[in-house]
Amino acid sequence: MFLKVDVRRHLCVCVCVCVCVCVCERERVRERERKDMTGTTTVESPRWWSRDTIAVVTGGNKGIGLEIVRQLAKQGVTTILTARDESRGQQALSALKADGLDVIFHQLDVTDSKSIRELATWVKARFGGLDILVNNAGIGWSSLPDKVLAAKEVLDTNYYGVKNLTHTLLPLFRPSAAGSRVVNVSSMAGQLAVVGNNKWKQQLNDEDNLNEEVIESIIQAYLKDRAEGLNTVLMMPSQELLEAYGNYTVSKVACNAHTRVVARDLVNRKEGEKIFVNCMCPGVTNTAMSQNKGHSVGGGADTAVWLVLLPASECVTGKFFLKRTDRGFVYIEEAFAIDAQSMIPEK
C-alpha cells in the first residue's frame, strides 16, 4: 500500500518536472526566435526556406522595409529589395552588401502599373517565380494642398499599390510544400472601430460577402467627404486628427479588408499550392513616419519576418497580427493609447 503511494508520488513528480522542462524549453526557443529577428541569435524553428526561396520586399530602402530585407537576407532567403527611387535603393543595397548580405535590387513604383509589370516580367525571367511577398511600401501623408488629391495619393500607395502588385504577382507564386507567403504591412489605425458608419462597419466585417466593390464604395464615400468637407466615414476624435490621419486611416482600413478578401479567395487551393495571406502592424516604430518615436526598426520588422518564416504547420491566413499575436480586425486597445497628436508632422 505504502509502496503504491510512493510510486504514484514519484510518477507525479516526474511528470510535473517533465512538463515544466518542456514548457521552459519551449519558451527558451521562442525567446531565441524573438531575439533572432533582431539579429542576435539563431532561429531554431524548422527551416522550410533555403537560398532558392525568393522574397520581394517593397519600400525596402529605409526604415521597416530595409530591416525586413536585412533579416530575411540574414536567414538565407534570396531577397529582392525594391524601391521607387533607384538611387536610394542602390544606396541601401550597397550598405547591405557592405554587411556581407547577398541582396538584389530592382526598381519598383507600386503606384505605376508599368513598373509593376516590369518587376513581374523580370522576376519570372530571372527566378521563374517567387515564394514571399512583403507589401511594405507606404506613406503617411501627402503634401498636396487639394484634399481629394492628397487622399488619392495616400490611397494609391497604401491600398491600390498593395492590391495591384499582389494581383500581378499571384500567378508567379511557385508551388511549395511549405506554402507561399504574402504579408501586408498595415496598421492598427485600420481597425474597424474607427469606421463611424455602422452599415459599412458590418459590411467590412462580413468576411463571407466582403469584396473589392464594398471596399471601393467606402473609399469613394470617403473621397466624397473630402471634397465636401464632411466626415461620414471615419470616427475621429477631432478635426485636426481627421485632417492629419484620415487618409492614412482609410487606406489601412482598405488594406486590411483587401487582405481578408485575397486570403479567403485563395484558402481552398490544394496542398502544395497554398498561399498564406496576412497583415500586421509594426507598432509605433522609430522612423520618419512616426516622427522618430517608438521602438526600434528591429521591433517594427519582427512580426512581418516571423509571419514569413513560420513553418507551414503553424501558418494561418486572413488574420491581423500585432506583436506576433492575432488581434482581429475590429478593436485594438493599444491604438487608443498612442499619442497621435505628437506625431503630426510640422507643416
Q: What are phi and psi of 61, to 5 degrees?
A: -90, -10
Non-local (6+) Cβ contacts of 123 within 8 A are 54, 56, 80, 106, 129, 130, 169, 172
Position 102 in a domain: yes
| Structure confidence at residue 150 (pLDDT) | 98
Cell numbers for 245: 490621419
| Annotated catalytic residue 159 | no
Position 281 in a domain: yes
Position 106 in a domain: yes
| Structure confidence at residue 16 (pLDDT) | 41
Residue 120: count of CB within 10 angstroms of its CB: 20
Which residues of the chain are modeled with pLDDT < 50?
A: 1-42
**Distance (Å, rounded) from C-alpha 89 to C-alpha 83?**
5
- Report the chain's terminal Cα–Cα distance, integer Å: 83
**Distance (Å, rounded) from C-alpha 200 to C-alpha 181?**
29
Q: State the Rg of the chain over Cα.
A: 22
The CATH number covering residue 102 comes to 3.40.50.720
Position 200 in a domain: no
| Structure confidence at residue 239 (pLDDT) | 87
| Structure confidence at residue 107 (pLDDT) | 98
Helix/strand/coil for 183: strand
| Structure confidence at residue 40 (pLDDT) | 36
Among residues 159, 222, 245, 248, which one is catalytic? Answer: 248
pLDDT tens-digit map of 171-213: 999 999 999 999 999 999 999 999 998 999 999 999 999 999 9
Position 164 in a domain: yes
Range of the domain at 326: 49-142+156-188+262-338
Position 22 in a domain: no
Position 201 in a domain: no
Q: Name the pTM for this structure.
A: 0.86
Number of domains in the chain: 1
Non-local (6+) Cβ contacts of 34 within 8 A are 302, 324
Which of 308, 244, 234, 278 is closest to 76 using CA atoms?
308
Position 134 in a domain: yes
